Amino acid sequence: MNDPLITQNTQKSEAINLQHLLKQVGDKNKYQLIILIIFIFQWMVSVSVLFGPLFFLNEPKFLCQDGKICENEKLACEENAPLLQDQKITMSISFNLYCDRSILRTISSSITFFGSIVGNLLFSFMAERLGRRFMMIFSWGFCTVGVIGINLSINFTMLAIFQFISGCGIIPSNSLNLVILGEQYGNKSRQKATTALLMSCFIISPQKGNSVYANATIVAVGEFLAYLLSNQLITYLPRKQFTIICMALSNLLCLLSFVFADIELAMTINSALIRIFNCLTFSILHVYIQELYPTPVRSMGVGLQMGIGLIGSFLAPYILSLFKYLNMSQLGGVGLIFIPFNFANILYQETKDQILEDVLEEEKQYLYENQNQNMQTIVQDQDQDENERNSNIL
Q: What does the domain layout of the chain look like in residue ranges? A: 19-57+97-356
- State pLDDT tens for residues 157-167: 999 999 999 98
Cα gap 383→377, rounded to integer Å:
10
pLDDT at 328 over 50: yes
pLDDT score for 206: 39
pLDDT at 9 over 50: no
Mean pLDDT for the stretch of residues 84-112: 81
pLDDT at 251 over 80: yes
Strands (E), the chain: 62-63, 69-70
pLDDT at 379 over 60: no
Cα gap 290→379, rounded to integer Å:
41
Cα gap 154→158, rounded to integer Å:
7
pLDDT at 106 over 60: yes
- Longest CA–CA span in the chain (Å) reads 120
pLDDT at 2 over 60: no
Angle between helices 156-184 and 295-325 (to 10 degrees): 140
pLDDT score for 161: 92
Question: Rounded to the nearest 10 degrees, how much is the dihedral formed by the CA atoms of 259, 263, 267, 269?
Answer: -110
List the single range of 139-148, 151-160, 181-190, 321-330 with lowest mean pLDDT: 181-190
Judged by DSSP in three states, 69 sits in strand
pLDDT score for 15: 41
Cα gap 12→10, rounded to integer Å:
5
Angle between helices 239-255 and 264-292 (to 10 degrees): 160
Cα gap 329→322, rounded to integer Å:
10
pLDDT score for 28: 64
Q: Rounded to two decimals, what is the model's pTM? A: 0.61
Q: Domain 19-57+97-356 has what CATH class?
A: mainly alpha
Which comes out higher in pLDDT, residue 374 or 6? 374
